[in-house]
Structure 1
Amino acid sequence: MLKQLPVTNKFLQCQELKIPAPWGYISGRWYGDRTERPILALHGFMDNLGSFDRLVPLLPDHVGVLCIDLPGHGRSSPLPLGIRYDVYNDVFIIPRIMKHFGWVKVSLMGHSLGAFYSFIYATMAPNTVDMVICIDCVLLPKFDSDVALESFRRNLEQHMVQDEILASGNLREPPSYKLPKLEMAVANGTLSSVTPDLAQHLLHRQVKESGLNPDSFYLSIDRRIKFYNYWDIGAELSADMARGVGKKPFLIIKGSMSPFLGPHTDEAVSILAQDNPHFEFYEVENGTHHVHLRFPEECAKYMCPFIQYHRPPSNATLFRGKL
């Protein structure tokens, strides 16, 4: 059986939901206050909203957090056959969710690929974004051109192969394993960014019980995601995008042991910080790429005052607190 996740007050107040989309639905979990616009949280590549399990309960109670599973991840519907998983499709999840709830503005919190999406959307529609929190990423790591080209070719071919398998309907159950082995596989797959004991937070939303092997589970994530189409942004474009964000509240948290923020992001980060009194950057000592899952208390130490200042309690929230 999957391990029971810890219960907190904010967990007790959370609600599972499904946001309709033309291809199915986007699965989410809304923590805390449902009367005010929440912070929208976007997870990283091959993860799901469970990566925020340990962080969200530590954030200020006056503002809710809506964590979503990106398409094909967690419990969200996979994209239709023939549609590739890439930056373009995923970024437009943000305005889709805004339209569904009738939000004019959005507060974004993203980890890894989700942080990249948050940065991109803030450059595309800066007037609709009031706050951005990026966890251990702003831009994706750069690849040598020959490596990038070979990866693009391989991923294109393999994505089409998986499309054909799904279209044929001749699906077999993927390999299944006991939970300890799956937990170790998650740890190895993240290059030990996630420890085996914390892997449960990623597994509980994207495993299914095997119909062939007792007490075994298999990963239910859409296999086409492994062949994701990255958007390799050059230095000139990334600098222009950073300028487009303007002087809005922008918080970046880096894990000291992670390479995801480094020379390839220095210029963009410098532009985001330039003459911006609302820019903050912190590094968590010994933090890995999943710094928010490994060290949630350290991340919350920086996030809480940032959120309190830029998303303070509304008069309605203060009034309810006195009742």
Structure 2
Amino acid sequence: MSIPFEEIRLRLPHIEVAAHLYGPEDGQPVIALHGWLDNAATFSRLAPLLQGIRIVALDLPGHGHSDHRPAGASYNIWDYAYDVLQTAEQFGWKRFSLLGHSMGAIVSVMLAGAMPERIDRLALIDGVIPYTGEADTAPQKLGDSLQALLAVDGKRKPVYPTFEQAVSARMKGVGAVSHDAAERLAQRGLMPVPGGYTWRTDARLMLPSPMRLSRAHALAFVHRVACPASLVLAHQGLMTQPAMVELSEALPFQLHRLPGGHHLHLDDQAGAETVAAVFNPFFAV
């Protein structure tokens, strides 16, 4: 696998993160954000196909080669917005666009709604708003999260005797992926340990959320997005439930439904090309 990118590390004020750089240095600035438990390699098929843009594909904290958050810190989805802003500051980008998949798309929408003056364009893949919860469920959610946090240090991440066994496990994970996609994610996401391989991801990422936005909260971010937005939804993706279909059709975004699964931009070259065919004219405007 030969992919034209530059590997970098960025020392942000609060954490050190890793990233892949794609595209010309004078291209439109874009920060690319992967999905939950994935890493920067999720854009390894798509990024080389996108024209005229400078892409910083991050390993979000706790993922890939980026640092884990310190003890006592959390991985609330809105915390990633600060990581993105500090990344932009490293490059001197006062305005920039976001390319997000799944959780990365959700973070992109939240940041664009919170700070519309900073974001030029949103290119989103199979994600818009987080899972929501209402007030009556909040105490139980927080209690479950605190209980899980107390126990997390005693849990051991799975160890796979061979690289291929880890790849097979990732194929069947959340948002099932092709063998090639799983291999790309595993090459960046695994590390050797006694007895085989385990994932670099912070175990705290698997903890239940302590608090969820209400649906009204989540939609408030969507409705405050002021920049052009293009949303790709996969026919076999994670937004096929009737409520999500209804939501996506009501969004003030360009909507494109494409064949493939949740990782259609990574599963195979044809999928990456169909997504690129949507985003290239979107970024060229």
State TM-score, norm by structure 1.
0.79
Contact preservation (8 Å) 2:146, 2:210: no
Provide, for residues 80-135 of structure 1, a one-character-per-residue CA deviation record: whole Å limited to 9, x for no partner: 00011111311211211122221110100100010000000011111111100110
- 1:199 and 2:179 aligned: no
Percent identical across equivalent pairs?
26
Root-mean-square deviation (CA), in Å?
2.5
- 1:154 and 2:113 aligned: no
Distance 1:230 1:269 in 2: 26
Contact preservation (8 Å) 2:9, 2:18: yes
Aligned to 2:130: 140
Distance 1:74 1:43 in 2: 10
Q: Greater Rg, structure 1 or structure 2?
A: 1
Aligned to 2:276: 300
Instruction: Report the residue type matching 2:17 in the other structure.
Output: I
Aligned to 1:183: 167
Aligned to 1:282: 256
Contact preservation (8 Å) 1:245, 1:272: no
Contact preservation (8 Å) 2:23, 2:48: no
State TM-score, norm by structure 2.
0.88
Provide, for residues 171-229 of structure 1, a one-character-per-residue CA deviation record: whole Å limited to 9, x for no partner: 9785232122111110111253x02332011111121123x33xx32212111111152
Distance 2:276 2:213 in 1: 30
Instruction: Report the residue type matching 2:223 in the other structure.
Output: R
Q: 1:218 to 1:240 in 2, by over 3 A?
A: closer
Q: 1:81 to 1:94 in 2, by over 3 A?
A: same
Q: 1:161 to 1:217 in 2, by over 3 A?
A: same
| Equivalent position to 2:217, from 233, 237, 253 | 237
Q: 2:36 aligns to what SS in structure 1? A: coil
Query: Where is the strand percentage greater, Structure 1 or Structure 2?
Result: 2
Comparing 232-241 with 294-303, greater Cα deviation is found at 232-241
Aligned to 1:312: none
Distance 1:21 1:175 in 2: 31
1:144 Cα deviation from its structure 2 partner: 8.0
1:154 Cα deviation from its structure 2 partner: 2.9
Q: 1:144 to 1:94 in 2, by over 3 A?
A: same
Instruction: Report the residue type matching 2:47 in the other structure.
Output: V
1:243 Cα deviation from its structure 2 partner: 2.3
Distance 1:46 1:52 in 2: 14
Distance 1:283 1:269 in 2: 10
1:71 Cα deviation from its structure 2 partner: 0.3
Instruction: Report the residue type matching 1:196 in the other structure.
Output: H
Show the 5 A alignment for 1:1-323.
Answer: 6-7=1-2, 11-12=3-4, 14-60=5-51, 62-142=52-132, 150=140, 152-162=142-152, 164=153, 175-192=159-176, 194-210=177-193, 212-213=194-195, 216-227=196-207, 229=209, 232-246=212-226, 248-260=227-239, 262-265=241-244, 269=248, 272-273=251-252, 279-285=253-259, 287-294=260-267, 295-309=271-285
Contact preservation (8 Å) 2:171, 2:179: yes
Q: Which structure 1 segments of 5+ residues have no match? A: 1-5, 166-170, 274-278, 310-323
1:252 Cα deviation from its structure 2 partner: 0.1
Q: Which structure 2 segments of 5+ residues have no match? A: none
**How many residue pairs were aligned?**
282
Distance 1:38 1:144 in 2: 37
1:234 Cα deviation from its structure 2 partner: 2.8
Distance 1:242 1:109 in 2: 16
Provide, for residues 44-89 of structure 1, a one-character-per-residue CA deviation record: whole Å limited to 9, x for no partner: 10110111111111111x2221100000100000000001111131
Distance 1:183 1:150 in 2: 35
Q: 1:296 aligns to what SS in structure 2? A: helix
Q: 2:161 aligns to what SS in structure 1? A: coil
